[in-house]
C-alpha cells in the first residue's frame, strides 16, 4: 500500500476486511509530500517529492540523505500500523529502493523490523527480445549490484518476475508462460491490476494497462492458472 495517497482510506478498509491478505509497504518517495522531514527528497519550493529523474540524479551525485530516506520509510510503516495493518514486506514505487543511498536506508528499516525486502532482479531470459524490458531490468540490476556493499542483510524471495509482464496487451499470455516456467524456489510476481479514474490519471501514466491486468487476473485467477503445475501460491508472511 502507498500511504496517504488517493485510495488510501478504501485500501485500509479492504485490508482490514481481509485479514488473511499479506500487505506490504509500497515505499513512496515520488508522489505527494513526505510524512517526515525529508529536505533531500523534496522540492524546497513546494515541499513535495522530487520527480523521478531529479531523484535519480541526486542519488547518483550522493545528494540524497540516507537519514531522510530512513525516517520517511519508518514514518510510512508507522502509518500502516496506525491504520491497523501489520506489514509483511517492503517494495517501492518505481523501484526507487534500488538507488544509491536509498537502498541502504530502506534495507536497514526492513532488517530492523524483520520484513521481507523486494529484490527486483528479473532474469534477462524472460522474453529476451523485449528491448524495453531488457533495458529496464538491466538498469535496475546495475543499481542493485552497485549499492550492495554495506547493506543490511534482509530476507527476500529467490526470484522476481514482473517487469516483462507490463504493457497491458501482452500481460495475459505472458503470465501463462511465466507460471509454466517458474524456477525452483520462491518467486515474487509483480502485477499492477487496477481501475482507472481521474486520480490515477493525474498520478501515473500506467492506466488502461491496469484494467487489462485486472481482467486477466479475475477472469482466470492465479489459483486456477496454477492447477496441475505443482506451484503453490503463498504470501510474504510465509517467507
Residues of the chain with pLDDT > 90, as a percent, come to: 92
Task: Report how far apart the first and last C-alpha atoms of the chain are (Å, whole number).
Answer: 19
Q: What is the largest CA-CA distance in the chain?
A: 56
**Above 70 in pLDDT, residue 239?**
no
14 vs 8, 9, 11, 18, 23, CA distance in Å?
A: 10, 9, 5, 6, 11
Place of cell 526507487: 96
**SS3 at position 199:** helix
Model pTM score: 0.95
pLDDT tens, residue by residue, 47-76: 999 999 999 999 999 999 999 999 999 999
Cα distance between residue 128 and residue 134, in whole Å: 7
> How big is the CA angle at 140 (ends 61 and 169), to the nearest 5 degrees?
135
**C-alpha–C-alpha distance, residues 232 and 178, integer Å:** 14
Band (214; pLDDT cuts 50, 70, 90): very high
Residue whose grid cell is 549490484: 145
Residue 89 exposed, middle or buried by CB count within 10 Å (0-12, 13-18, 19+): buried
Q: Give the mean pLDDT of 225-232.
A: 90
Q: What share of the chain is helix, strand, coil (3-state, %, to 5)?
A: 45, 10, 45
Q: Which domains does the chain have, with CATH numbers?
A: 8-238 (3.20.20.370)
The whole-chain average pLDDT of the chain stands at: 95
pLDDT reported for residue 100: 97
Question: Binning pLDDT at 50, 70 and 90, where does residue 168 land?
Answer: confident
Residue identified by cell 517492503 is 90
β-strands 116-117, 159-161: how paired?
unpaired
**Cell of residue 38, nine digits:** 525529508
Q: Which residues contact 233 (CB under 8 A, 6 or more apart)?
A: 222, 223, 226
Residue 84 has pLDDT above 80, yes or no: yes
Predicted local confidence at residue 238, as pLDDT: 82
Amino acid at each position: 500500500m502507498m500511504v496517504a495517497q488517493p485510495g488510501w482510506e478504501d485500501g485500509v478498509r479492504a485490508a482490514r476486511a481481509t485479514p488473511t491478505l499479506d500487505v506490504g509497504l509500497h515505499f513512496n518517495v515520488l508522489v505527494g509530500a513526505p510524512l517526515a522531514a525529508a529536505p533531500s527528497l523534496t522540492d524546497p519550493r513546494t515541499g513535495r517529492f522530487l520527480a523521478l529523474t531529479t531523484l535519480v540524479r541526486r542519488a547518483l551525485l550522493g545528494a540524497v540523505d540516507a537519514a531522510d530516506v530512513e525516517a520517511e520509510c519508518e514514518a510510512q510503516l508507522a502509518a500502516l500500523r496506525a491504520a491497523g495493518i501489520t506489514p509483511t514486506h517492503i517494495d517501492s514505487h518505481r523501484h526507487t529502493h534500488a538507488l544509491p543511498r536509498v537502498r541502504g536506508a530502506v534495507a536497514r528499516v526492513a532488517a530492523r523490523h524483520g520484513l521481507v525486502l523486494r529484490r527486483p532482479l528479473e532474469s534477462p531470459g524472460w522474453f529476451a527480445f523485449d528491448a524495453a524490458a531488457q533495458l529496464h531490468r538491466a538498469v535496475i540490476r546495475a543499481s542493485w549490484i552497485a549499492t550492495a556493499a554495506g547493506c543490511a542483510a534482509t530476507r527476500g524471495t529467490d526470484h522476481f518476475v514482473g517487469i516483462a509482464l507490463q504493457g497491458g496487451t501482452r500481460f495475459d499470455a505472458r503470465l501463462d508462460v511465466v507460471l509454466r516456467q517458474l524456477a525452483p524456489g520462491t518467486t515474487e510476481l509483480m502485477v499492477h491490476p487496477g481501475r482507472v479514474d481521474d486520480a490515477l490519471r493525474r498520478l501515473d501514466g500506467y492506466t488502461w494497462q491496469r484494467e487489462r491486468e485486472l481482467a486477466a487476473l479475475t477472469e482466470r485467477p492465479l489459483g486456477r492458472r496454477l492447477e496441475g503445475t505443482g506451484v503453490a501460491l503463498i504470501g510474504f508472511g510465509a517467507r
